[in-house]
Chains A and B, each alone.
Chain A
């Protein structure tokens, strides 16, 4: 009995010494604060795995990881910026990066020549501003997807998706389902609420070379004949041909295609495994239908180090590690952000059946140019696109109004 008590006391003392030793080690280690937006548990588990590997290679560095749900992300990061309490490194939404990069918040990334050769140019351009690299992109893209079972039902060949805009419209007319005069299954998913500008940009870029909503800095760049024709085509799908369901890109319930209420659509690449698991063998993939070009919208999350980071050198080193081949592959497997290194392309393409399509989509992608007033600009253009989709303004008038407002905004 006395012996047992003594053993217990020694064990307790050893545990206490261990805790003190590890906290002492922690106290001595260089600490990096790392925040990531998103609520999926896979983000946490993947990032913690990457962190563990980094810490094993750098025993004098400890990374404190915090994951913040998107609903809280904007308020939390904004409050941190206001209070000069930003983490050393954080993820950033696509538009968020554009709004903040011009405010001199981020550290320039010193990229080695080997990395510059290996990382796709479009990925480096996305994270650059005025010729300097400030963030690495963890991309997701939006391939064209369709329901093979609905194709068969409508008498269409499930292995022949539409190749151009005319075919897209014809297929949509055959695939749409109505009840009591109301569309209950859309022929094609064209979300006309929420972030409408995303689908508009995808189609606009298919019509015009190097199309974008705005130039770097925010000056609008969409008011031309191609822009008007693009919007007319999309609006006709709703108002003239009635093949579209009310669909909100931002909806927490998912878009019409993701919820099975549309025969064709442009789902996010991150959601594809879940989509395929819920409808095995029923989803087909292709490059988006071509008008003049075939373009895919590619967005994602940026990773940037803050200029005022307490341990900037170590944070930049960690940022470089996240963008290494090893970590990039782990992030792709865990969170489905697509790899941007050329040296990983072969491995990526053979990893899943549809990855060949995704790789092509990434090569032919379009995304937003940096806009310091991204939030307001997006809202403005969406309001006007909405006016066109609801038939309150012609496409030309809607785009003209959006152009004038965005021009004024860019000059403020």
Chain B
């Protein structure tokens, strides 16, 4: 039909750009993952050698574990805090606009600036945390230089920047829930907690699904704060898949190997997204 053709014409430029700059390069990366490409010479096919090496690469395995840990904790914590803030700031009260803006602000800051700020906070000699520990008579740590703590400390700015975005999306979701549900629940004698569990959470399911996917993609791509704050150290305790891709591709000139890492990352994120799609499709049947 003519109207269909016109519609396709309108979306064609966007799809052309998507094909040229996202889909085609992604296919190229998949291909390069089967080669020993090092920029200078033409890529040479080496089959699955890169993937076999990945399976035995302790640092890459560490990066995968770190990335998954980073994803679980930052997404979980930022979603939980984001939801809690949204519920608290949903009711019109004095100062609510100020608090909404304040909590959202970290999301618009440059990640490099955020990383620098937290680097200063974590300075083991004179940073804010160390000074606070001394003032309270508590033992001060080496913070980012402590292999046991570094990964969790690097997660803090990640959560800090994500929770504002999550809060805003949850706020939007909360405001679409009809107050009639809560009125009926009140009449039936449901407590606030029961209302939250049986009305709010199920109706927020599509929103939760959206936030989960967006936050997950963001967390799996974590690079800036690793690069600025720790460069994967100490002792590879904070390295991530994205950081290893950068190191292998652009510092060691092993683009073939780095491409195979990218494919692994794509598979992990793809699998998570598919699982989450199944969860998200259920919508609000739970109410």
Q: List residues of A whose CB falls within 8 A of some B CB.
A: 71, 74-75, 78, 81-82, 99-100, 103, 105, 179-185, 193-194, 245-246, 248, 250-253, 256, 261, 373, 375-376, 379, 383, 386-387, 390, 392
Q: Contact between A193 and B233 (Cβ–Cβ < 8 Å)?
A: yes
Q: Contact between B252 and A387 (Cβ–Cβ < 8 Å)?
A: no
Q: Which of A194, A246, A376 has the most CB of B within 10 A?
A: A246
Considering the complex, give the chain B residue whose CB is closest to the CB of A376. B252
Shortest beta-carbon distance from B236 to chain A in Å: 7
Stretch from B78-86, B117-125, B175-183, B186-194 at the A interface: B117-125
Which of B119, B137, B140, B252 lies in contact with A375, CB distance below 8 A? B252
Q: What are 8 residue pairs bridging A and B, where the CB atoms are less than 8 Å apart in the complex?
A: A82-B39, A181-B139, A182-B139, A193-B234, A245-B124, A245-B125, A375-B251, A386-B234
Q: Which positions 120-157 of chain B face chain A at CB distance < 8 Å?
A: 120, 123-126, 130, 133-134, 137, 139-140, 142, 144-145, 147
Q: Contact between A105 and B126 (Cβ–Cβ < 8 Å)?
A: no
Shortest beta-carbon distance from A331 to chain B in Å: 27
Shortest beta-carbon distance from B275 to chain A in Å: 33
Prevailing SS type, chain A contact patch: mixed
- A82 vs B32: C-alpha distance in the bound complex, in angstroms? 13
Shortest beta-carbon distance from B179 to chain A in Å: 50
Q: Contact between A383 and B236 (Cβ–Cβ < 8 Å)?
A: yes
Q: Contact between A75 and B40 (Cβ–Cβ < 8 Å)?
A: no
Count the B residues whose beta carbon is within 8 Å of the partner chain — how many? 36
Considering the complex, give the chain A residue whose CB is closest to the CB of B235. A386
Q: Contact between B231 and A250 (Cβ–Cβ < 8 Å)?
A: yes
Considering the complex, give the chain B residue whose CB is closest to the CB of A262. B125
Given known pairs A193-B234, A383-B236, the reply for A184 and B126 (CB within 8 Å) is yes
- A261 vs B142: C-alpha distance in the bound complex, in angstroms? 14
Shortest beta-carbon distance from A99 to chain B in Å: 6
- A81 vs B39: C-alpha distance in the bound complex, in angstroms? 6
Shortest beta-carbon distance from A74 to chain B in Å: 4
Interface mask (B27-43 → A, CB under 8 Å = 1, otherwise 0): 00000000000011100
Considering the complex, give the chain B residue whose CB is closest to the CB of A195. B231
Q: Contact between A253 and B123 (Cβ–Cβ < 8 Å)?
A: yes
- A193 vs B231: C-alpha distance in the bound complex, in angstroms? 9
